[in-house]
Structure 1
Amino acid sequence: MLSDQTYSYESPHVYKEHNIRLSQSSKLQSRVVIGADTFVGDGTSISGSVIGRNCHIGHDVTIENSYIWDGAVIGDGCIVRHSIVAAGAEVRSNAMLNSGSVIGFGVVIDKDVIVPNETKIVKTPIKTLQDSAMFMSSSEEESENDDDDEDDVNPLDSSEVGDANVVGAHGVGFLYEEEEDDEETNKGYSGIMYQMAQLNVSDVSVASTTVGAHQYGSKRKKRTYSTNSMYVSGDEDEEEEEEDFHKEALATVERAMENNHDIDTALLELNTLRMSMNVTYHEVRLSTSTALVERVDHFIATDTLGVKDAVDKVFGQWSALFKRQVFEDLDQVDLLLIVQKLCCQLNESYRSMVFLFVLMQLYDAEVVEEDNVYLWWNGKESQTEEMSVVRDKAEKWIEWLQQAESDSEEDSDEDDE
C-alpha cells in the first residue's frame, strides 16, 4: 500500500515483508504482520500481533496480541501478551510481559523479570507530562544560553540506569508514574499509554473471554479508547453503539442477499462497520447469523422453500461470510453457540431440523472443524435446558460423525499393518 513496503499475504491472515528469516519450527498463527529483515527463532509462536522491521525474536518465545516496534529484541523463552514494546527496546531471556505492559523506547528488561499487568516503563525517570515539558523547555533554554558547556546535567537524570525493582539488576528503565488526581495528565495520555489494560489491542478470539460466561443478547461492560479522544465510559452509550451496529450489520447482510451482492463486497461493508463502531468479531458473527437464520425462517414460514432447501440456499451461498469472522478454535465454538441460540427461537415444528442442516452446512463449508464441533457439543452452554431443545436431531449427526472418524482410524490401522 506504501511505496517502501513489500508485504505479501499468506493464509491464515499472515502478512510478511521480504528478507524475513523464520526458523523452520516457528509458528505464525492467524492475524500476524512481520516487517522486513526480522528474525524469528525456533519454537516461537506468534499470534494476533504486529512485528516491526529489523526485530530479533529469539527461540521458544510466545507473543500474543501485541505490537513489537522496529528494532526491538525479544530474548529466548520470553512471553509477551497484550503489550507494546517500543522501537529499540530489549526484553531479555525468560522475561514475561503481562497484559497492558508498555515498554518504552530504549528500555531494557533484564532476564527472568516479570512485568506486572498495566505497567508502563520509560527509559528516563519522568513522572508526569508537565515534568517532561518543563524538562524540555529548560534543556532548550540552557542549550541556547551555553552550547559549549559540556558539564550541563539534565535535572531529571539519574546516576542509575534503571530501577532494579522494575527492570531487573542489569535493566534500563523506570516506572512511569501518573498522578491520579491530575486531570490534565490523564487527558494527555488518553491514547495508548493511558489505561492500557482496557485497550482492545487486537481482535483476539472474543470466545476466549466470552465462552463460558456468555449471555447472548446481553451487553458486555467495556471501555473505548481513541488516540484522538477522551476516555469514554458508560454502559448506555456502549449498548446504543452495539445496537446501532447490530441494526446496520443486519441491514447490510439482508441487502447483500436481496441484491445478490458478491461475498467480498458484503465482507468489506461489515468490516468497515466493525472498525467504525469498535465492536468485536462476536458482534459481527451474531449479526451475520441473525440475518441468515431470519432469511431461512422467512422462506419456511411463507412456504417458499422446505427446511433443507431453505438452509441450503441461504447458508450454502452465504456461510462464506464466516470465514472472515472466525479465526480460532473458540471462535468456531462461539459461532455454533450463536446459531444454536438463534434456532432455539424458531418455530418448534422445524427449529431442530433447521439447526441440524445449518450445522451440516457449516461443517461441509469448513467453517467449523470436527474437533471444535465436539468441543461445542460437550460444552456446558450447549447443554442447558434452554439450548437443548434443538439438540435432538443434531445428536444423530454427531454420532454419525464420531462413527465415521472411528471407521477411518480402523482403516488407517489396517493399511499400516
Structure 2
Amino acid sequence: MGAQKKAPTRAVSDDPEDLARVPLQAVLLADSFATRFRPITLERPKVLLPLVNIPMIEYTLAWLESAGVEEVFVFCCAHAKQVTNYLENSQWFSQPKFSVTTIESHNSVSAGDALRLVYERNVIHGDFVLISGDTLSNMSLMRALQEHKERKKKDSNAVMTMVIQRSKPSPITQQSRLGTDGLFVAIDPTTKQLLHYEENTNHLKGTFSIDKMLLVDNTSITLHNDIQDCYIDICSPEVLSLFTDNFDYQHLRRHFLKGLLVDDIMGYKIFTHEIHSSYAARVDNYRGYDTISKDIIQRWTYPLVPDVLSLGNSATKLERRGMYRASEIGQSRSAQIGPLTVIGTGTTIASNTKITNSVVGKGCAIGSNVLIEGSYVWDNVIIEDGCELRHAIVCDGVTMKSGSVLKPGVVLSFKVVIGQNFVVPPYSKVSLLQQPTKQDSDEELEYADNNSDTLDSAATGTMDKLNGDSSLEFSEMQHHVSSELGYGGVGYIWSICEGSHEEEWRHSVAPIPAEKLAEITQVIEDDLELVSQDSNAPASSGELKPDSQINAEDDAVYFEKEVEATFLRAVNENVEVDHVILEVNSLRLSYNMQSADCAGAIFHSMMKLALDTTHSTHNELLRNVQNTVNTWQKLLKSYLPGKDEEIEVILKFEEICLESARELSPLFTQILHLLYDKDIITEEAIEDWESEKKDADEADRVFVKQAEIFLQWLREAPEEDDEEDDE
C-alpha cells in the first residue's frame, strides 16, 4: 500500500450542485513504461530525474495544483519505494487543498495494467485528468474541462478529450520530435472529434491510409501531420472500466485509443482540445530532454522556471542573457559562465574553466581548464582539471579524472568513473551495471523491477570493491578499471544494439549532424502524400479541407520567435553559418514564409543580440551592432536576393526602433550607413525606401528625416565620383 495523505475537508453546503460535486482528480503515471532512458532508469525512476535541477514530477504536480486539481493519485511501479519516499518528504504532503496519494504495484508492465489497478481501487469518482509524470505544461485546464463536460451532457459516449497542439516549430528546431514517431491524425473541424490516429515510424516522410467510410460519414475532415500529442487527457470514469473490460488494451494510444476509433459497436468518441499560446511537452527521449530543458531556461514554460520552482533550496537568481546562478557557489574570477546556463548551489568552479549552454547541479567540484558545452551535469559530480564535455549527460556522483573527454551524445550513469585522459566515444552509454543480456520483449516496458534495492546494492558494491576491498587482487583491479574506461575508470560501456547505429543521433542530446540536417531539409520540401484507401470514392462522400485556424499573423509571430531561438543557439554553440542557413530554410518551408520574412527575422535577432550584450553608452551599443553585423552578415545576405527584400529589412528596422528596441532609435542612421558599407543594403534600395515615404504621414517619416544628411550624401556621392573620373 502506498503512502497516503488524507483528503482536505470542505465546508458543508445545502446547494444540490455542491452536494453532487466531486473534487477534480488526476491520475499521474510515474512510470513511462519505456526503455529510452536506460541505463539511467535502471537505478532511478524517470520522474525523479532532474530537469534543469528539479525532478520531473515536480513540474507535473506544480501544474496540476495550479490548474485546479484537488486530488492526485500517483501510480508507481518501477522503483516505487523511491517515488513514495520522495513524495512523503516533499512539499506536496503538506498542501492544505491538494491531496497526493501513491498507488504501488510490483507487476504492472503497461499503462493498461496501471489503469486497471486504479479502477480496482475505486478511487476515481468523476471526470479526471490522465497525465504522465514526465509531462510539463503551463496551460489552463478550465476551457478544456468545460468543453468535455458540455459534450458529455449532450452525448454520453464522449469519454475522452485529448489535448493537442500544432507543432509550430519545424522538425529542426523542435528537435524533440525527431526522437519520437511521426503522427498522422484526422479530425472533424466542426466538432473536434478525433477520427483517425496513426503513428509513423518513418520520422521524415510517409503515407497513411484512411477508411473511405470516414469520408462517407463526415462532411469534412482535416488531415494533419503537424500535430503534437501532449499526453494530457481529460477522461470520464468509463475510460477505466473500458481498460478493465479489454485486457488487450496495454498502450494508451496504440491500443486503447485506436481500439475505440475502430469500434463501431459501443460508439465511444474521443475529442481534441488544441492549445495555441500555452506550453505542453513530454520528456520522451534524450533529445526531448535537451529541447525541453532549453525551453525552461528560455522561460517558454513560465511560471515553471528555475527561479520560481526553488523547492526550498537556496534561491536561484536569473541574470542577464538567461544565466541562472544559485547562491553559495564558488567561482574563480577567470572562470567564464556563458548564457543559457544554470549553476546549482554549493558548486565550485576553478580557474580558466568555461561553461556555456549547460546545466550544472548542486555540490559539483569542477577543476581548472575544463570545457563544458551543451551538457547536463547532475549533483555531486567531480570533474578534474583539463576535462572536456560536449553535449553529454552526467549523472549524480560521477568522477571524470583529469584530461578525460566526453564526445557528443555520451550518457554517464550514476557513480561512473572515467579514467585519466580517456576519451569516451560519441553516443556511448556507460553504467556501473552491465548491459542486460536479455532484452525486454515489449519495447514499451520500463524497467518494472521488484529488485531496485538489489540493483542499487550491486552498483554500490562495485564501487566499494574498487575503492578498497583488500580481497581484490591489484592485478585484477587494474585489469577491470583500465579495460573499458581507461586507467582508474569504473563502469561498462554498453554496446549499441544491432541496427541502431544510424539512429543514435536521433535520440541524442547532441546536435543533429550536418548531413542528416540536409537530408531532413530536403524531405521537408517534398509534400506529404496522403492516400485514401479507395481513390475512387465518390466526391459526395466527403471533403478534405486544409486547416486554417491559425492566421497568418500568428504564424509570423511564431516564425520570428523560432528564428530568434535558432540564431541564439547558433551564437551560443558556435554553429557554422551554413548550418544555420539550413535550419532557417527548414523554418521557412514549415511556416510557408518568404525570403523577406527570413531576412527581417534574422535582422531582428541580430539587433536583439547587440542590445543584450553588455553596454552602457550609445557608442558601446553601436560597437555591439558592428560586431554582430560583421560576424553574421553572410547569414543575413543569404536572404536578400534583391531590392525588395532589402527594403523590407529597412522597414523592419523602423519597426524595431519604434516598438521593441527604442534604444536603437538614435543610432538608426549610423546602423543604416553600416549596412550600406557592408553591401548588405544597396543604394537603390535606400533611395526607393525614401521615395515610398515621400507622401507618408509625418509620423512615418521620422527616420527619413533623421537620415537626411546620409541620404543627401548618397545622392551627391555618384556625382563626386564622376567628377574624379573626368579629372
TM-score by length of 2: 0.32
CA-to-partner distance for each residue in 1:393-417, whole Å, 9 max, x for gaps?
49x9xxx9xxxxxxxxxxxxxxxxx
Q: Which residue of 2 aligns with 1:34?
A: 343
2:342 partner SS: strand
Q: 1:338 to 1:90 in 2, by over 3 A?
A: same
Q: For 1:181-330, what aligned pairs fall within 5 Å after superposition?
A: 197-199=505-507, 201=509, 220-221=518-519, 235=523, 251-252=553-554, 254=556, 282-283=583-584, 293=596, 322-323=608-609
Larger Rg: 2
Note the C-alpha offset of 1:250: 6.1
Q: Does 2:493 match 1:171?
A: no
Note the C-alpha offset of 1:222: 5.0
Distance in 2, matches of 1:322 and 1:239, equals 34
Distance in 1, matches of 2:452 and 2:645, equals 73
Q: Which residue of 1 aligns with 2:638?
A: 341
User: Contact 2:323–2:340 at 8 Å: present in 1 too?
Assistant: yes
CA-to-partner distance for each residue in 1:150-192, whole Å, 9 max, x for gaps?
xxxxxxxxx75845232112211111124426xxxx8xxxxxx
Q: Which residue of 2 aligns with 1:4?
A: 312
User: Contact 1:267–1:321 at 8 Å: present in 2 too?
Assistant: no
Distance in 1, matches of 2:375 and 2:325, equals 16
Q: Which residue of 2 aligns with 1:48?
A: 357
User: Contact 2:596–2:645 at 8 Å: present in 1 too?
Assistant: no
Note the C-alpha offset of 1:7: 1.5
Residue type of the alignment partner of 2:554: T
User: Contact 2:485–2:492 at 8 Å: present in 1 too?
Assistant: yes
Q: 1:138 to 1:200 in 2, by over 3 A?
A: closer
Q: 1:268 to 1:7 in 2, by over 3 A?
A: farther
Q: Which residue of 2 aligns with 1:101?
A: 410
Q: 1:17 to 1:160 in 2, by over 3 A?
A: same
Q: Which residue of 2 aligns with 1:23?
A: 332
2:484 partner SS: helix
User: Contact 1:339–1:355 at 8 Å: present in 2 too?
Assistant: no
Q: 1:179 to 1:196 in 2, by over 3 A?
A: closer
Q: Which residue of 1 aligns with 2:542?
A: none
CA-to-partner distance for each residue in 1:223-273, whole Å, 9 max, x for gaps?
9xxxxxxxxxx9459987xxx9xx9796336469xxxxxxxxx859987xx
Distance in 2, matches of 1:90 and 1:29, equals 23
Q: 1:99 to 1:239 in 2, by over 3 A?
A: farther
Unaligned segments of structure 2, at least 5 residues: 1-307, 441-445, 458-475, 529-545, 569-579, 614-623, 687-709, 711-727
Q: Does 2:429 match 1:120?
A: yes
Q: Which residue of 2 aligns with 1:75?
A: 384
User: Contact 1:315–1:358 at 8 Å: present in 2 too?
Assistant: no
2:640 partner SS: helix
1:221 partner SS: helix
Q: For 1:314-393, what aligned pairs fall within 5 Å after superposition?
A: 322-323=608-609, 336-344=633-641, 346=642, 348=643, 365=664, 393=683
1:12 partner SS: helix
Note the C-alpha offset of 1:336: 3.8
Distance in 2, matches of 1:110 and 1:29, equals 28
1:93 partner SS: coil
Distance in 2, matches of 1:127 and 1:70, equals 26
Distance in 2, matches of 1:199 and 1:138, equals 26
Residue type of the alignment partner of 2:518: R
Residue type of the alignment partner of 1:26: A
Unaligned segments of structure 1, at least 5 residues: 144-158, 187-193, 224-233, 257-265, 275-279, 297-310, 379-387, 401-417
Q: 1:93 to 1:12 in 2, by over 3 A?
A: same
User: Contact 1:254–1:291 at 8 Å: present in 2 too?
Assistant: no
TM-score by length of 1: 0.52
Distance in 2, matches of 1:81 and 1:295, equals 30
Q: Which residue of 2 aligns with 1:111?
A: 420
Q: Which residue of 1 aligns with 2:292?
A: none
Note the C-alpha offset of 1:33: 0.7
1:127 partner SS: coil
Q: Which residue of 1 aligns with 2:129?
A: none
Residue type of the alignment partner of 1:343: L
Higher relative contact order (CA 8 A, sep 6+): 2
RMSD of the TM alignment (CA)? 5.9
Residue type of the alignment partner of 2:553: A
